[in-house]
Structure 1
Amino acid sequence: MRPKIAAFPKCYLDDIAGSKTMTVFEWIEMARALDADGLEMYEGFLPSLNTEDVDRVGTAIRDAGFEMPMLCCSPDFTNPDADARKKAVEHQARMIEVSRQLGGVGTVCRVLSGQRYPDVSREDGLRWVVESIEEILPIAREHGIVLGLENHYKDGFWSYPEFAQKQDVFLELLAGIPEREFFGVQYDPSNAIVAGDDPVELLRNVADRVVSMHASDRYLTDGTTLEELRQSDGTLGYSPNLCHGVTGQGLNDYDAIFQILADHGYQGWISIEDGMNGMDEMAESLAFLRRMVEKYFPEE
């Protein structure tokens, strides 16, 4: 079975989830023009968590001819406040239920580690995240939902970057959670670049646990180098000199990435995070992914 392709409106994230100047239903209607099999959702897109509102979103997605392969959630499991961590676990449990409601059995519900708070040690952070994910795993099993841990940079509404942004921390966290049926990796090559890591090297380390993937791309503005963007802690910030662009035209080596995925028999979803410069670029990114899937996953 070939991987399927989904679209995520990175360009409209703040409009839908922040300022509320666009509704998720408007985005779904716009997406009808795109050559995608599914529409990835973000928890902030939902009008509310009421069953009726969630059902309305799911119905709109299906009526537009799409599936809902992944719900992006951003739990903060590293909050130094134990009560806040408990609330994060409770909220993520509800998001697992919403994922089932929107996408059915097998849907991926993204999880993050949490923010990299200055006063939280690596040891404490890792322990809290493992404990939190282990607590919600039974709920994921009950609903047939797969938790996908993303090598993330930073939720757009967070104060601090991702705790497990760097590859070494991410891999240590992943190793602490041996579950493979209902837990895996939501791989994003561009986030590895933002972290100052090699996306291909990261994929080689996690390929057998990838359950979903984001396929965005980044490019440097003229006269800028990656070294110039590196901060003192070895990571990269969201500098205006590091921009989203058409997938396949940036810094990621998608031939190497797709070859690794094909070698491991990947059958999950690939979702573009694009459109920062308009719907035409989003369509171009989707067309690129179609060609790559056909090239590396030929029909038998």
Structure 2
Amino acid sequence: MNLGISTYSFWHFEEKKLPLKEYLVKAYEHGFNGVEVLSNHIESRSEDYLKEIKRFAFKLGLDVYGLAIHNNFVKVDKDERMREVELVKDWIRLGSVLGVKIIRINSGRWMTVRSFDELMERRGIEPPPPGYSDEDAIEWVVECINECLEEAEKHGIILGLENHWGLTTRADNMLKIIKKISSDYFGVIMDTGNFIHDTYRELEAIAPYTVMVHAKTYFGGGVWYTLDLDYDRIFEIL
């Protein structure tokens, strides 16, 4: 098992966003051997910049193994969904320059609950707009991921669907997406802190498809909620 850290882990500890290189140095100082980069921390999309980040990380002895991006395939308008597909494809190409092996993608959500604070009060449950259902959105997400996989396979990059709210708030919906996609370059990124309804049953449901884990801790308490996670039990699930 390789142990890395996401630059997201430093997100709430800094009063201002630091240059990406400083997050890489922090990862090195904490003894990690790999880093997942949050797309928000990438300061330029130029190839020269991305190659410099890859070189800098290598000199520290760090493997930039992953990239976490933000996308939303749950959009009623097909043109808007296709723009999201192009966004993901663009990140795949940039990730290839950076040398990543996996990219975190999301299903997205309806956005009928605009405030994330309110979404958390509703325990992640969000109603579809009138005339639509989650089943419609599941089909859209599958279609979009398959489109993105054409590009991912060209670059040898795995797309990892994370249980990250929206359609993936519950494992049942997530499994409906997973079972409709057949590619060696598709898998699941398990976030141990994002199933708040029936945590261990739902983690167990997605475990067979998991290729990477985001392991959450809540020392000092969480922002919206706190889970007392039993990692002995989670390791048994994995």
Deviations 1:75-110 (A, max 9, x none): 111122322211110110111122222235xx1111
Q: 1:55 to 1:256 in 2, by over 3 A?
A: same
**Separation in 2, partners of 1:254, 1:188:** 12
1:11 Cα shift? 4.9
Partner in structure 1 of residue 69 of structure 2: 73
DSSP-derived class of the 2:159 partner: strand
Structure scoring higher RCO (CA < 8 A, sep ≥ 6) equals: 1
Query: What is the aligned-residue identity percentage?
Result: 29
Q: How do 1:86-165 residues align onto structure 2 when only pairs under 5 Å count?
A: 86-104=82-100, 107-118=101-112, 119=129, 120-153=132-165, 162-165=166-169
The TM-score with structure 1 as length reference comes to 0.67
Is 1:185 the counterpart of 2:197 in the alignment?
no
Question: Match for 1:99: what amino acid?
Answer: G
1:219 Cα shift? 6.7
Name stretches of at least 5 consecutive residues in structure 1 with no aligned partner: 154-161, 222-236, 244-249, 262-300
1:259 Cα shift? 2.0
Question: Match for 1:23: what amino acid?
Answer: P
DSSP-derived class of the 1:5 partner: coil
DSSP-derived class of the 2:178 partner: helix
* Aligned CA-pair RMSD: 2.3
Is 1:260 the counterpart of 2:237 in the alignment?
yes
Cα pair 1:109 1:148 within 8 Å, conserved:
yes
Question: Match for 1:95: what amino acid?
Answer: W
Number of aligned pairs?
220
Partner in structure 1 of residue 27 of structure 2: 31
Question: Match for 1:255: what amino acid?
Answer: D
Q: How do 1:1-300 residues align onto structure 2 when only pairs under 5 Å count?
A: 3-13=1-11, 21-104=17-100, 107-118=101-112, 119=129, 120-153=132-165, 162-179=166-183, 181-193=184-196, 196-198=197-199, 200-218=200-218, 239=224, 242-243=225-226, 251-261=228-238
1:210 Cα shift? 0.8
Partner in structure 2 of residue 270 of structure 1: none
Cα pair 1:164 1:173 within 8 Å, conserved:
no
Name stretches of at least 5 consecutive residues in structure 2 with no aligned partner: 113-128
1:171 Cα shift? 1.5
